[in-house]
Amino acid sequence: MEIQPLLEQLLLARGPGGQEDEVREICLRELSQYCDEASVDEAGNVRGLIKARGGSSQAQPIRVMAHLDEIAMIVKKVRDDGNLEVVALGGAQPICFGVCPVEIMGDSDCLPGVLSYGSMHNSGGSTQGRDVLSGAVKWSDVHVVTRRSPQALAEAGVRPGVRVVLSQHWRQPFLVNDAVAAHFLDDRAPLAAVIAAAKQIRNRRQELQQDVWFVCTTLEEESNAGALYAASRVPGDTTVAVEVGPVLDEYGTVLSADPIINTGDQKGYYTRSVVDALIKAAQRSGYHPQVALLVDFASDASAVMSSGVAARAGCIAIPTENTHGFEMVLNEGIVACAATLTEYLLYPTQ
């Protein structure tokens, strides 16, 4: 399959936590082509099931999870001047976005706005001004300029709790030789890899020894709520998260096609047998896995295991520059992730 057209569709789709409808629609459409069953559950997760043919009836299903949502903002207060005070939705900081065009997701339409820190031409006479000049901008320093009255905003359904996302024209992917750069490759690149793996599994179904559930989860950036809901209802003792992985010297990771196999994160350590199987799957696929302990990190898989709704967990990640910023991955990195995931799902004990 052509991954780049699908990736571009996913990047342009808006998906703040709890309002991932545009991304969900794409994932449901794609998984419906390759899975025996595909549906949306009560929590908003997309679930796709590929059933094993001729496999052992005793083999436990494997759950694969990649999340639908993106880091974003949420309205805290509508000011008297019509500007909006916002706070982070997910693990975002103002530096993640910069001063930029945004869209305010009202009841029936998206309204344009500009995320603002105020002018750089200030003397530092206010706390906000000093933060801007020092580069240490906090959410308390930030507002969204709407050029609308509070009454007009209210009529459009703009109120505390409304999501604010980057404007769609700032979501366009930017090609850099063999790489693609964009906001929200976390988690659009892993979603593309999961969908590609689903297609590959369908084409090699005769090798599949256990059922596979592909779950595109909601609310990962805030609470892992979608993953926890799905894991408590979808069969399987093993959960594998597909993620982006930070490229940092402290982890020994580099920007390459070779997938990162995560051995643990802030919510716990991944299951040794699953980690080893993912490493071997990457090697069989022709790649040199980057094994890393990502301390300042978390995933759906570590969340469900630490909550007791998965017996075993693992995490494969696409090496990514500038995570939670203007991210960059290699095109081959997405392909490598899909190939490794496919190999693991077909032969999880080798």
What Rg, from alpha-carbon coordinates, does the chain have?
21
Q: Are 159 and 146 in contact (CB under 8 A)?
A: no
User: Which CATH number goes with the domain that contains 22?
Assistant: 3.40.630.10
Domain that holds residue 134: 72-170
Q: What is the pLDDT of residue 29?
A: 98
Tokens of 292: 């890393």
Contacts of 272 by beta carbon, 8 Å cutoff, 6+ apart: none
SS3 43: coil
> Is residue 177 situated within a structural domain?
no
User: Which CATH number goes with the domain that contains 138?
Assistant: 2.40.30.40
Q: How many CB atoms lie within 10 A of CB 4?
A: 14
State how beta strands 143-145 and 163-166 pair: unpaired
If one counts the domains in the chain, the total is 2
Q: Are residues 160 and 219 in the same domain?
A: no
Q: Are residues 189 and 62 in the same domain?
A: yes
Q: Which of 101, 136, 170 is the last residue of a domain?
A: 170
Q: What is the pLDDT of residue 121?
A: 80
Q: Are residues 64 and 76 in the same domain?
A: no
Q: Are residues 111 and 162 in the same domain?
A: yes
Q: What is the pLDDT of residue 125?
A: 77
Q: Are residues 83 and 61 in the same domain?
A: no
Burial 119-134, CB ≥16 within 10 A → b, else e: eeeeeeeeebbebbee
Q: Are residues 214 and 323 in the same domain?
A: yes
Angle at 82 between CA 78 and CA 84, to 5 degrees: 45
Task: Provide the residue-wise pLDDT of the chain in tens; the chain has 350 residues.
Answer: 689 999 999 999 999 999 999 999 999 999 999 999 999 999 999 999 999 986 555 689 999 999 999 999 999 999 999 999 999 999 899 989 989 999 999 998 899 999 999 887 887 778 786 867 677 888 998 999 999 999 999 999 999 999 999 999 899 999 999 999 999 999 999 999 999 999 999 999 999 999 999 999 999 998 999 999 999 999 999 999 999 999 999 999 999 999 999 999 999 999 999 999 999 999 999 999 999 999 999 999 999 999 999 999 999 999 999 999 999 999 999 999 999 999 999 999 98
Per-residue three-class SS string for 145-188: ECCCCHHHHHHCCCCCCCEEEECHHHCCCEEECCEEEECCHHHH
SS3 141: helix
